[in-house]
Amino acid sequence: MYAEIIAVGSELLTPDRVDTNSLYLTEQLNTLGVEVRRKSVVGDDRALLAEEVRRAVQRSEIVILSGGLGPTEDDVTRDAVADALGRQLIFSAELLEALTARFARLNRKMADNNKRQTFLLEGAEALPNARGTAPGQWLETDSAVVMLLPGPPHELKAIFADDCLPRLAKRLPPQAIRTRFLRVAGMGESDLDQMISPIYKPYANPMTTILAGAGDIQIHLRARGSNAAEAEALLDEVAPRIEELLGERVYSRDGASLETVVGRMLRARGATVSVAESCTGGLLGERITNVAGSSDYFVGGFLAYTDRLKVNLLGVEAGMLALHTSVSEETAKAMAAGARARTGSTYAIAVTGEAGPESATGAPVGTVIVGMAGPDGDPHAERYTLFGDRNGIRARAAQWALDYFRRRM
Amino acid sequence: MYAEIIAVGSELLTPDRVDTNSLYLTEQLNTLGVEVRRKSVVGDDRALLAEEVRRAVQRSEIVILSGGLGPTEDDVTRDAVADALGRQLIFSAELLEALTARFARLNRKMADNNKRQTFLLEGAEALPNARGTAPGQWLETDSAVVMLLPGPPHELKAIFADDCLPRLAKRLPPQAIRTRFLRVAGMGESDLDQMISPIYKPYANPMTTILAGAGDIQIHLRARGSNAAEAEALLDEVAPRIEELLGERVYSRDGASLETVVGRMLRARGATVSVAESCTGGLLGERITNVAGSSDYFVGGFLAYTDRLKVNLLGVEAGMLALHTSVSEETAKAMAAGARARTGSTYAIAVTGEAGPESATGAPVGTVIVGMAGPDGDPHAERYTLFGDRNGIRARAAQWALDYFRRRM
């Protein structure tokens, strides 16, 4: 069974807006085993939209329209679908009553043109919209189900989840979808794909998707079976082999971010951490503190951007800096040790490197050193060569630093 | 004249991917005075795509396809367009030679199926692709121009800019587009829109678009005239009135980011800055240092997340902290003064506040205090009430801090 999604609205044909409702709808349809075969965006043009709907219902069993249900003349979805299907729009006293009550409740005067929102396609069911004035509509024709949904995402999602999904599920053969979700750090996307594609490529079910950004990789596996056990069994055939191959590079199986995982580890030990940042300029601290409750384990730290501050704030020895430069294992270790001593934290993480566009120390742009100090043993450090532009390198540097800390803690 | 854009690829029909090429293409087409009337996404389905193209060329004068030009069986764009227009695909010895040379240059063996990429639609011109193996194609039919472009954005953009725009410009009536671009800080989007909409609403030309995120607002004005002077005159009717009304809230007229503007001001004075961050946890430093060359004026600073570190690292007085709490003007001023004294910077910016989800000090979540210390006069501070979730408040706090610093410096 196939679906088509039509987004309506001239604003979605400008350079600044993209239709995202279809991503949500696709995700939900996929869980029912329905594939989206076509998506389109049409402006507020009744004739063009009517043509679009006419073709869609000929081709596909499910047609979902979003947007164009407002009260103004620009809102053409109701009329266009009526034209396409040769159906009348019928006034609903019930909808008018609900709309009038809504305006009364909000102490607002209902404009005359809101009455446009009280017309239903002949044969359609109204789908109540608790969050806005435009009710959705559900219409079954001989060949297709047609849904009219409002454009604002929170209205669309609520109506689709509450009223459309259950109706669709009843019309479709029972099936179960189960997913696994792995998050991976410390390697690039193409290296990862090369490594694991021999495992997942032979399988269309589960379907494997890899999403990556700045050194953070998400692997989604989605299996479809006639029941939950069957779907789980399909996942068990593939997911554990991927996990085993990736080993400790997998940092989370529940969707938690790397900074959340690091926070959980610190909390579990009753430990605290501080940072000493050079090339990341605050990004590492920002990552750690974007987790609610991070004040339980993050004490603070230093942005030692210049050599002088590395010496003055962190106690890095000037002679050592002159000898090894700021982009060295020695400096990263001294920065970590200094942050730990000066903040009294259990652990400290240091990052120093060349984010570009030019190198100040002679080390190639992309060279990043992560240092760590803790209660056991001497400070230690590792050198990485990272890719990207300035912000790409900085983002990867923070990611690699968190991951180094996770693996060594 | 109207355009349609068709994105090809089954991966664009998953919940994780969105077609962004069409945004770039729309922007470019708009500069030529061409509106996009319809966009669609079709999977790797030759028959469905052929139907799509057949309708598009009947309706619109410009049809652009992106994607589906790769070497595999899944890449159906060439075949589908040939089907739709009733044209043959013709082998091009020239394209084969260029492709062979490309593989030789990269020291890679050309696979047999790459030969699929050496076929041109009857009557089409090849558009060379310096960044990939798939050449674009430009085809003029009786009623429409059809462009086939590769899907990877950097390939598509280069080919469109180099080969399609000039060809399109020749076919269209001469017109000039001129734009103005204002960036605004220190206010919310709806306040701004309420303030300036009486000015821009009456004008369809120039067209005004407002984009906003986390307290950073961009106002785009785009005017269209038959020549540059006419377009400029249209802008001069609207833009100065908006600028005057917004006054010092406008921080940039050339697209520069707030941190870039602040950096320019510091550089112009030969001054340096340091930071003392609490609730932003590094975000302020990260913003300042994401500008290349920021090491000329940013020395570093402190992440004083806990009260203890505010005392130990920044010299904030413990008694004052106990009296006023960490979320107070007094603390923000003391943090700024401490950072300035300890780093030796010309200026220092401090941020402290409650980002939530819970309040540690009793101050309502969203309370943020920005402090500043400099060479002239006493440290000073300002209190803000910011909206959003934890990350929204943090992002706005960094933005408001930079803007406070800009206005007071």
| 8 Å CB contact between A180 and A239 | yes
- The whole-number pLDDT of residue B49 equals 97
Contact B115, B103 (CB under 8 A): no
Q: Which CATH class name applies to A2-171?
A: alpha beta
Q: Does B36 touch chain A (CB under 8 A)?
A: yes
Question: With an 8 Å Cβ cutoff, are B357 and A281 in contact?
Answer: no
pLDDT digits (tens, 9 = 90+) for A114-130: 899 999 999 999 999 99
Banded model confidence at residue A1, pLDDT cuts 50, 70, 90: confident
**Do residue B43 and residue A41 have CB atoms under 8 angstroms apart?**
no
| B300: nearest CB among A27, A52, A304 | A304
CB B39 within 8 A of CB B7: yes
Burial-class residue A159 by CB neighbours within 10 Å (0-12, 13-18, 19+). buried
CB contact at 8 A, B208 and B221? yes
- Say what the pLDDT of residue B302 is: 98
DSSP state of A116: G
Question: Does residue B384 contact residue B313 with C-beta atoms inside 8 Å?
Answer: no
What does DSSP say about strands A298-304 and A35-42: parallel, antiparallel, or unpaired?
unpaired
* Residue from B31, B72, B286 to probe the interface with A (highest A Cβ count within 10 Å): B286
B16/A308 CB distance under 8 A:
no
Mean pLDDT in each 10-residue stretch from start to end of chain B (409 residues)?
94 90 95 92 96 96 96 91 97 94 87 90 96 94 96 95 95 86 87 89 89 84 90 96 96 95 98 98 97 96 97 97 97 98 98 94 96 97 93 94 96
Q: Which of B116, B45, B32 is nearest to B76 (CA)?
A: B45
Q: Specify the pLDDT at position A19.
A: 95
Residues from chain A that touch B305, judged by Cβ atoms under 8 A, are: 285, 289, 295, 298-300
- Report cis status (omega within 30 of 0) of the bond before A357: yes
Count of A-B CB contacts under 8 Å: 200
Question: pLDDT tens digits, residue range A351-384?
Answer: 999 999 999 999 999 999 999 999 999 999 999 9
Tens-place pLDDT, residues A199-228 = 999 998 998 888 877 788 999 898 989 888
CA distance B92 to chain A (A): 32
Which residues lie below 8 Å from residue B106, measured CB to CB, with a gap of 6+? none
- Kindly provide the b/e burial profile for residues B358-396, where b requires at least 16 CB atoms within 10 angstroms of the residue's own CB: eeebebebbbbbbbbbbeeeebbbbebebebebebbbbb
- Token pair for A205: 């079910």
Chain B residues with beta carbon closer than 8 angstroms to that of A27:
15
Class in CATH terms, A176-252: alpha beta
pLDDT at B190: 75
**Which of the residues B294, B298, B303, B335 would you substitute to probe the A interface, choosing the one with the greatest number of A C-beta atoms within 10 Å?**
B303
Query: Would you call B99 exposed, middle or buried from its count of C-beta atoms within 10 A (0-12, 13-18, 19+)?
Result: buried
Distances (CA, A) of B63 to A370, B27, B52, B162: 51, 15, 10, 18
Distance from CA of B91 to the nearest CA of A (A): 31
Interface of A with B in 350-379 (CB under 8 A): 356-357, 360
Residues 196-215 of chain A whose Cβ lies under 8 A from any Cβ of chain B:
209, 211
Question: E strands, B10-163, where?
Answer: 35-42, 62-66, 89-91, 119-121, 125-127, 136-140, 145-149
Give the pLDDT of residue B7. Answer: 98
Name the A residues in 238-297 with CB < 8 Å from any B CB: 274-275, 277, 280-290, 292, 294-295
Q: In chain B, what residues touch A18 (CB-CB under 8 Å)?
A: 18-20, 23
pLDDT at A222: 87
The ranges assigned to domains in chain A are 2-171, 176-252, 258-408
Residues of chain A contacting residue B292, judged by C-beta atoms under 8 Å apart: 356-357, 390
Global model pTM greater than 0.90: no
The residues in A 75-104 lying below 8 A from B, measured between CB atoms, are none
* Residue A392, phi then psi, degrees to nearest 5: -65, -45
% of chain A exceeding 90 in pLDDT: 80
Mean pLDDT for A302-306 is: 97
Whether domain A258-408 has CATH 3.90.950.20: the reply is yes
